[in-house]
C-alpha cells in the first residue's frame, strides 16, 4: 500500500473517519445542542465534495488500487458528488421531522454517513469482495435506521422484514459471486470479464452464477417479482428514514448493477439482457397499476419507485455506453425527485404525526400556494410531463432501449408512463381542487423551506437545461 493508492481512496477514508468522529462527538452533545451534530455532518459532506472535486478523474481515465479491488474513474466521481448532494438534502429535510417526532439523535447522522460510505465503496468496487463489503455496510446501516423509532411497532415490523429479505438478497448475491469465482478463478471484475471472453459458451456454472447475481441486484433495487419488501419498509419506517432509503441507496445500487453486469459480466450481456427485459416489463406494469389503488402516499410512492426501477433497468439492458449514461441520468434525477416528494410529506406533518394519507394534501394551495407549486413540479416531473426533467430522463432510457432493439419494451414503457401519470395528477387535483381538511398554516424552518424550494424549482430548471447533466453522464462512459 503506497501513498498514491491512499490518495485515490481519500474521499472514502475521510467519510469513514468523520463518521466515527460524529458518532463519538455526539456523546458529548446535549439534546438541546443537537444542532451541532447536524452542522458537523453537513460540513463533513461539504469537505468530502471538495476532496472529490479536487481529485476528479479526467474523461476516459481509470486507475485501480489495492490489488485491483478499488477503482477510480469519472463515473464513480460523478455518482459520489450526487450522493453527497442528496444526503445534504436528506439531512436538512430530516432535522425538522426528527425534532417533531422526538427522534433527533446523533445515531441518525452517524448511520447515514456509514450508509454513504457503503454506497461509495460500491461505486468504486472493482472486485466481488469490495462490492459485497460496500453492499453490507449500506444494508446494515439501513436496517438500523428503519428501526430508529424504538416505540413504533410498525417500524419494528418494517425493520424485521427489511432485515430478513435484505439478508436473503445478500445471501443470493453472495452465492452467485461464489459460483462466478468458481468458474473464473478470480474476484477482480476485469479478470472475470477476460475469463468470460475465453470461456466456452453454455457453461452451466457461469449461467447459474449470473442468474443469482441478477436476482440479488433485482432484490436490492426492488424490481418485480422481488419487490415485496419495498412498500412495507417505506410505509413502516419514519418518513425521515424513508426519505433516505428512497434516494441515496438507489445511486449505490445503480453502481452495483453497472460494476457487476457491465464491467464483470459484459461478455455475457445477451444472457442478462433477457433477464433484465423481463424484470423491467413486470416492474413497469405492476408498479404503475398497483400505485393507482393506494390511498397512503408513502405506499403510492413505494409502488411508483418500482415502476421507476423498471425505467432504470430499461437503460441498463441496452448494454451500451448510451444506455448506461441514460440509466445514470435517470437514477440521479429520480433521487432528487424522490427526496423532494418525501420532503413534502415532512412539511405537512405536525406534532410527530406523518401526513402520509393522500387526503392530507387536500387544499394545499389554499394553505400554501408556493409549496403547492413545488409539489406540482415534483409530481409533474415524476409523471414525465414535458419540459420537466423527469420527461427527459424517460426519453433518454426509452431512446436507448429502441437503439438496442427493444422496441416492444419501449412502447410498454410509454403506455405505463401514461397510466402512472394518473396517480401523480391525482395529488395535484387534491391540492388545487379540493377543500382543505386542515386549515393550519404550513410552517417549517427557513433552511428546510429554502432547500425544498430549490429542489422543486430544479425539476423545471434541470428540464429546461438538461443538456449539461446529460453530457456529464455521457462523459462518465466515454
Alpha carbons 171 and 258: distance in angstroms, whole number: 20
CA atoms within 13 A on the CB side of 238: 29
Residue 285 and residue 371 in contact, taking contact as beta carbons nearer than 8 Å = no
* pLDDT given at position 303: 94
Per DSSP, 29 falls in state S
* pLDDT given at position 137: 95
pLDDT per residue, tens digit, the chain (478 aa), is 577 888 899 999 999 999 999 999 988 888 788 889 999 999 999 999 999 999 898 888 889 988 889 999 999 999 999 999 999 999 999 999 998 888 888 899 999 999 999 999 999 999 999 999 999 999 999 999 999 988 888 889 999 999 999 999 999 999 999 999 998 888 999 999 888 877 656 678 888 999 999 999 999 999 999 988 999 999 999 999 999 999 999 999 999 999 999 988 888 888 899 999 999 999 999 999 999 999 999 999 999 999 999 999 999 998 899 999 999 999 999 999 999 999 999 999 887 678 888 888 999 998 889 999 999 999 999 999 999 999 999 999 999 999 999 999 999 999 999 999 999 999 999 999 988 877 788 888 999 999 999 999 999 999 999 889 999 999 998 8
**Phi–psi pair at 476, nearest 5 degrees:** -70, -20
Nearest-Å Rg of the Cα atoms of the chain is 21
User: What are the start-end ranges of the H helices in 33-184?
Assistant: 35-54, 74-101, 106-123, 128-146, 153-184
Residue 180 and residue 250 in contact, taking contact as beta carbons nearer than 8 Å = no
Nearest to 251 by CA among 477, 41, 85, 71: 85
* pLDDT given at position 311: 95
How far, in Å, are 74, 90, 137, 440 from residue 111 at the CA level? 27, 13, 10, 34
* pLDDT given at position 200: 58
Segment 180-233, tens digit of pLDDT? 999 888 899 999 988 887 765 667 888 899 999 999 999 999 999 998 899 999
Name the β-bridge partners of 353.
350
Q: What is the pTM of this model?
A: 0.95
**Phi–psi pair at 74, nearest 5 degrees:** -65, -35
For 99-116, b where at least 16 C-beta lie within 10 A, e where not — what string?
ebbebbebebbbbbbbbb
* pLDDT given at position 117: 96
SS3 call for 226? coil
Alpha carbons 335 and 377: distance in angstroms, whole number: 15
Amino acid at each position: 500500500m503506497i501513498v498514491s493508492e491512499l490518495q485515490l481512496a481519500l474521499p472514502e477514508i475521510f467519510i469513514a473517519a468523520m463518521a466515527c468522529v460524529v458518532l463519538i462527538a455526539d456523546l458529548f452533545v446535549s439534546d438541546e445542542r443537537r444542532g451541532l451534530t447536524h452542522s458537523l455532518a453537513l460540513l463533513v459532506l461539504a469537505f468530502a465534495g471538495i476532496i472529490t472535486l479536487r481529485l476528479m478523474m479526467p474523461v476516459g481515465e481509470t486507475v485501480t488500487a489495492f490489488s485491483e479491488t478499488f477503482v477510480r474513474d469519472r463515473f464513480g466521481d460523478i455518482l459520489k458528488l450526487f450522493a453527497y448532494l442528496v444526503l445534504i438534502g436528506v439531512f436538512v429535510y430530516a432535522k425538522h421531522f426528527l425534532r417533531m417526532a422526538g427522534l433527533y439523535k446523533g445515531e441518525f447522522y452517524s448511520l447515514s454517513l456509514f450508509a454513504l460510505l457503503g454506497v461509495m465503496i460500491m461505486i468504486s468496487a472493482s472486485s466481488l469482495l469490495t462490492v459485497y463489503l460496500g453492499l453490507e455496510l449500506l444494508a446494515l446501516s439501513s436496517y438500523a435506521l428503519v428501526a430508529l423509532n424504538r416505540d413504533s411497532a410498525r417500524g419494528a415490523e418494517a425493520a424485521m422484514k427489511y432485515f430478513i429479505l435484505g439478508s436473503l438478497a445478500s445471501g443470493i448475491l453472495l452465492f452467485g459471486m461464489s459460483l462466478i469465482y468458481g468458474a473464473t478463478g478470480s474476484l477482480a471484475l476485469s479478470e472475470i470479464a477476460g475469463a468470460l471472453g475465453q470461456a466456452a459458451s453454455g457453461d452451466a456454472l457461469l449461467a447459474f452464477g449470473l442468474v443469482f447475481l441478477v436476482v440479488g441486484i433485482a432484490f436490492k433495487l426492488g424490481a418485480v417479482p422481488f419487490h415485496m419488501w419495498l412498500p412495507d419498509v417505506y410505509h413502516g419506517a419514519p418518513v425521515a428514514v424513508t426519505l433516505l432509503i428512497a434516494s441515496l441507496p438507489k445511486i449505490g445500487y445503480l453502481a452495483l448493477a453497472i460494476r457487476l453486469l457491465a464491467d464483470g459480466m459484459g461478455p455475457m450481456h445477451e444472457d442478462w439482457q433477457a433477464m433484465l427485459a423481463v424484470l423491467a416489463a413486470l416492474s413497469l406494469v405492476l408498479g404503475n397499476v398497483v400505485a393507482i389503488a393506494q390511498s397512503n402516499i408513502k405506499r403510492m410512492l413505494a409502488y411508483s419507485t418500482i415502476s421507476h426501477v423498471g425505467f432504470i433497468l430499461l437503460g441498463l439492458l441496452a448494454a451500451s455506453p448510451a444506455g448506461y449514461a441514460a440509466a445514470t441520468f435517470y437514477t440521479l434525477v429520480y433521487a432528487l425527485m424522490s427526496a423532494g416528494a418525501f420532503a413534502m410529506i415532512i412539511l405537512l406533518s405536525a406534532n410527530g404525526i406523518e401526513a402520509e394519507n393522500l387526503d392530507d394534501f387536500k387544499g394545499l394551495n389554499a394553505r400554501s400556494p408556493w409549496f403547492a407549486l413545488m409539489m406540482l413540479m415534483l409530481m409533474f416531473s415524476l409523471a414525465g410531463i414535458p419540459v420537466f426533467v423527469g420527461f427527459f430522463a424517460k426519453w433518454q432510457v426509452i431512446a436507448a432501449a429502441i437503439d438496442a432493439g427493444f422496441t416492444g419494451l419501449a412502447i410498454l414503457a410509454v403506455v405505463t408512463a401514461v397510466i402512472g401519470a394518473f396517480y401523480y395528477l391525482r395529488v395535484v387535483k387534491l391540492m388545487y381542487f379540493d377543500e382543505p381538511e386542515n386549515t393550519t398554516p404550513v410552517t417549517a424552518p427557513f433552511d428546510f423551506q429554502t432547500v425544498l424550494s430549490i429542489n422543486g424549482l430544479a425539476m423545471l430548471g434541470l428540464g429546461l437545461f438538461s443538456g449539461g447533466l446529460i453530457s456529464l453522464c455521457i462523459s462518465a462512459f466515454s
